[in-house]
Amino acid sequence: MLALAFALAALEALAILVLLRNRKRRKQALLSLRETLSLLEQRLSTRTESWRQATDILEQAEERHRITTALLNETKEYLNSIINSMPSIMIGVTPSGHVTHWNAAAELATGIREKQALGFRLHEIYPDLPVTPAMIEEAIANSEPSTQENVKVEHLNVVRYVDITVYPLHSLELTGAVIRVDDVTLRQKLDSMMLQNEKLKSLGELAAGMAHEINNPLAAILQSLQNVQRRLNPNHPGNQAAAKALGVDMYQLHNYLEARDINRFLGGMEGAGHRAAEIVRHMLEFSRSSSRQLEPTSLNVVAHASVEFMRSAIELSMPALHAKLTFEEDFDISLPLVPASGIELQQVLVNLLKNAAQAIQEAHREHPLIRISTRLVPPFAEIRVEDNGIGMNISTSRQIFDPFFTTKTVGQGTGLGLSISHFIISQRHHGRIEVTSTPGVGTTFILTLPLQQPTHAPALAGH
Ligand SMILES: Nc1ncnc2c1ncn2[C@@H]1O[C@H](COP(=O)(O)OP(=O)(O)OP(=O)(O)O)[C@@H](O)[C@H]1O
Ligand SMILES: [Mg+2]
């Protein structure tokens, strides 16, 4: 019984012990659970804080980006309006020559809209512009602008002169170039006009002295040549007598000269001598003209007299042309008298009419026509000489007023006719002489003379 009670007490004590141990374990587990929970809470709060900070930074960055984009757009607009208001053509290109910018001046000059140009290769959309991909590459590689001056550009049949500069562009991401094209046609025209006047002025100064110096020996050469030809004439009694006295047969001598072509050479010498004399005569016109007075002159009378003179000259020298040629005269009767030198104006008109006749003869027209007309265009009087001859290309028409420029064969022209005409009209009459011509169609010369001579004004611009 005692043993049983003891055993029961021990069992109870054991149960209490087990119970105590379990409670302790649970308590420990609870504790560690709480710790883990608090750790998790801490981590979550740290994460939330850093996420909030990141969102803040992102929002700020987004705002900065928005402002920068707006500023960029504003700057782009501003730059575009600057570029578009420039009179120069500005074309932006990539190194491979693809267009990135195309300003308003480029649109105006080429007729190509910005939309049609952007992204395309420059030399494909605007082949008339002499800027090759090689030039763009070179400017970029050398990091130096390259410039070409007074470049002739023909676009849609209009010829202009331009200065072209290729500026290389270097930035961090982008490399390319800006091509700037400036129209210098007017400057070129003024330069060539001034050069022309200078040339004629110095030619005029030279002419007087030179003509006299050359004239005398030339006259002696021609005179002696005539004597030689006369003294070789086998039919001349004096020659026959002199030859006989020396035991020479004059006809044999003549045959020898013919067989050795000597008479032909002498003829050539004579022709060349006369040509030289003609040049000297033309050159003397420069110096002579400055001494003549301008007086009230009827342009219609001078024009008609010039036509009559040329009509008979053509009849003699170009009979075949004369048979077919029509001279059309269309005179403005309201034209007042104009201060001019009639002799000089006639010289100019004869030069123009002679050129017209020669150009027509070369064209072999079925209906050759020369038209001369006058017109009152206050404060100027205008004379036009039109022909349906061979015409001339741009390169020829740019040189025709240069002294000694001629396209005619030796003996046909001295190349002084138009430069003298230019001198007479621009220097002596303060007028203008202009030409328009189409190859294969014909040519028109326009003389513009002031109705009143300026007292101290310079000559009219242009030629
Ligand atoms: N009406 C025209 N049609 C076509 N070409 C012309 C005409 N007038 C002038 N020319 C061209 O201009 C050039 C120069 O003319 P310019 O009158 O000065 O000299 P030229 O006629 O050759 O010689 P020159 O007048 O001294 O006998 C000519 O050679 C010709 O090529
Ligand atoms: Mg001529």
pLDDT in tens, 108-124: 888 899 999 999 999 88
Q: What is the mean pLDDT of the chain?
A: 87
Whether the per-residue pLDDT at 378 is higher than 50: the answer is yes
Q: Which amino acid would we find at residue 444?
A: T
Question: Which of 337, 391, 344, 388 is closest to 366 using CA atoms?
Answer: 388
pLDDT tens readout for residues 277-317: 877 776 676 556 555 688 999 999 999 989 988 888 888 88
Q: Which residues pair with 369 in a beta bridge?
A: 326
Q: Give percent of the chain with pLDDT exceeding 70.
A: 90
Q: Which CATH superfamily hosts domain 86-183?
A: PAS domain (3.30.450.20)
Reported in sequence order, the residue ranges of 196-240 that DSSP labels E, i.e. its strands, are: none
* Predicted local confidence at residue 80, as pLDDT: 82
Reported in sequence order, the residue ranges of 317-431 that DSSP labels E, i.e. its strands, are: 326-330, 338-340, 369-377, 380-387
* Predicted local confidence at residue 238, as pLDDT: 94
pLDDT tens readout for residues 230-260: 999 999 999 999 999 999 999 999 999 999 9
Residue nearest atom 24 in ligand 1 by C-alpha distance: 413
* Predicted local confidence at residue 230, as pLDDT: 94
Q: Which atom of ligand 1 is nearest to the CA of 415?
A: 19
Q: Which atom of ligand 1 is nearest to the CA of 385?
A: 1
Q: Which residues fall within 8 angstroms of residue 362, CB to CB, at 6 or more apart? A: 389, 390
Mean pLDDT on 415-438? 91
In the structure, what pLDDT confidence band is assigned to residue 25 with cuts at 50, 70 and 90?
A: confident
Is residue 299 within 8 A of residue 335, CB to CB? The reply is yes
Is any atom of ligand 1 closer than 6 Å to the C-beta of 406? yes
Q: Which residues fall within 8 angstroms of residue 212, CB to CB, at 6 or more apart? A: none
* Predicted local confidence at residue 462, as pLDDT: 39
Long-range contacts from 44-49, C-beta under 8 angstroms, 24+ separation: none
Q: Which residues of 90-99 are buried (b: 16+ CB within 10 A; e: fewer)?
A: bbbbbbebbb
Asked if 86-183 and 292-463 have one fold, the answer is no
Inter-helix orientation angle 237-245/250-259, to 10°: 100
Q: Which residues of 162-196 are buried (b: 16+ CB within 10 A; e: fewer)?
A: bbbbbbbbeeeeeebbbbbbbbbeeebeeebbeeb
* Predicted local confidence at residue 382, as pLDDT: 97
Q: Which atom of ligand 1 is nearest to the CA of 416?
A: 26
Question: What SS3 state is found at 197?
Answer: helix
Q: Which atom of ligand 1 is nearest to the CA of 387?
A: 1
Q: Which residues fall within 8 angstroms of residue 63, CB to CB, at 6 or more apart? A: none
Q: Can you read off the two tokens belonging to residue 410?
A: 């030796």
Q: Which residues pair with 449 in a beta bridge?
A: 381
What are the φ/ψ torsions at residue 5 (nearest 5 degrees)? -60, -40
> How many whole angstroms separate alpha carbon 240 and alpha carbon 448?
61
Mean pLDDT on 346-357? 93
In the structure, what pLDDT confidence band is assigned to residue 355 with cuts at 50, 70 and 90?
A: very high
C-alpha 347 – ligand 1 centre gap (Å): 14
> How many whole angstroms separate alpha carbon 76 and alpha carbon 278?
68
C-alpha 186 – ligand 1 centre gap (Å): 25
pLDDT tens readout for residues 123-165: 889 888 888 888 888 888 888 898 998 888 877 777 788 999 9
Q: Can you read off the two tokens belonging to residue 273?
A: 């001598």
Question: Domains of the chain: which residue ranges?
Answer: 86-183, 191-289, 292-463
Weakest-pLDDT range from 90-99, 105-114, 429-438, 452-461 = 452-461
In the structure, what pLDDT confidence band is assigned to residue 412 with cuts at 50, 70 and 90?
A: confident
H or E stretch covering 106: helix 104-110
Is any atom of ligand 1 closer than 6 Å to the C-beta of 396? yes
Q: Between 213 and 31, where is the model more confident?
A: 31
Query: Relative to the alpha carbon of 403, which ligand is closest?
Result: 1
Length of the chain equals: 463
Mean pLDDT on 414-438? 90
Is any atom of ligand 1 closer than 6 Å to the C-beta of 109? no
Please count the other Cβ atoms lying within 10 Å of the Cβ belonging to residue 321: 17
Question: Which of 321, 333, 327, 293 is closest to 309 using CA atoms?
Answer: 327
- Max Cα-Cα span within the chain: 205
Question: Which of 457, 463, 456, 453 is closest to 293 using CA atoms?
Answer: 453
Q: Give percent of the chain with pLDDT exceeding 90.
A: 50
* Predicted local confidence at residue 297, as pLDDT: 93
The half-sphere exposure of 209 on its side-chain side, counting CA atoms within 13 A, is 4
Q: Which residues fall within 8 angstroms of residue 231, CB to CB, at 6 or more apart? A: 239
* Predicted local confidence at residue 204, as pLDDT: 66
Is any atom of ligand 1 closer than 6 Å to the C-beta of 415? yes
Whether the per-residue pLDDT at 428 is higher than 80: the answer is yes
Please count the other Cβ atoms lying within 10 Å of the Cβ belonging to residue 39: 10
Q: Which residues of 273-310 are buried (b: 16+ CB within 10 A; e: fewer)?
A: beebbebbebbbbbbebeeeebeebbbbebbbbbbeeb
Whether the per-residue pLDDT at 459 is higher than 50: the answer is no
Is any atom of ligand 1 closer than 6 Å to the C-beta of 197? no
> How many whole angstroms separate alpha carbon 168 and alpha carbon 139?
6
Mean pLDDT on 157-184? 84
This prediction has a pTM of 0.51
What CATH topology corresponds to 292-463? Answer: Heat Shock Protein 90 (3.30.565)
